[in-house]
Amino acid sequence: MTQFSSQSDQLRNFTGRVPLFPLPDAVLFPHALLPLMIFEPRYRQMIADVLTSDRLIAMALLEPGWESTYESKTAPIRQTVCIGRIASSELLPDGRYQIDVDGLSRAEVLDEDDSPHPYRIARVELCPEMPAGLSQDQRRRTQRELLVGFQQLAAGCDFDRTFHDSLDADLPLGGLCDVIAYSLPLEPDVAQSILEEPDIASRSMLVLDEMRHCIESDIGHPSVFPPPYSLN
């Protein structure tokens, strides 16, 4: 998980232009670590390029009906994305990349470059967190409800040590919502709706509602978290 104090430092010199990585089934949140296996030639080129620069990419969710335009640079995406930094990478003998993407910040896509690259490049604006507007007692109550509910839901799951550390830390409410939302077994469009919510109080209610649904439905988690590398 991302160290909260270092996020602004990693985006201090951000130019506002970033390669887009649209996927139909993966939503990255700030403070979360997304493992990916990169095999498409265009995205292998993208990773090679960003590894020699700022290591930043923007994870975007494809809109429904993406199948017919997936190979193009015009497949429609949701406009709220998550800027992530490649925290680790390994070039495999067959040319694929195995990477971990560290979520840093929400951003809004303003437009896209007409670039010669085989991958898409967007101009984005970082999205600031909106204060929750909760009293100290309300904030503590919400944080406790999130943690207790997640502990109930995650009983028996073997979590990565860094994930335990992030939950044990004194996290801001918005960051706690993001970490827990990323770990829940949510459909991509539901996860995206949480990513798109800038107001921390409203976001916490969305995460609590989804957590209660998972508990009531007895929806389980993978036995290990973070999950294994997913394919692009």
- Tell me which fold the domain 4-128 belongs to: 2.30.130
226 pLDDT exceeds 70? no
Instruction: Round to whole Å and give the CA distance between 118 and 16.
Output: 19
| Structure confidence by residue, pLDDT tens digits, 185-212 | 899 999 999 999 999 999 999 999 998 8
Is pLDDT above 50 for 72?
yes
Where along the chain do its domains lie? 4-128, 136-225
Q: In angstroms, rounded to a whole number, what is the distance separating the alpha carbons of residues 116 and 95? A: 22
* DSSP string over 157-222: -EE-HHHHHHHHS---HHHHHHHHHHHS---HHHHHHHHT--BHHHHHHHHHHHHHHHHHHT----
Residue percentage of the chain with pLDDT more than 70:
84
What is the tens place of the pLDDT at every residue in 126-139? Answer: 998 877 788 888 88
**For residue 204, what are its two tokens?**
């916490």
pTM: 0.86
More confident residue, 101 or 150: 101
Quick one: DSSP state of residue 92? Answer: -
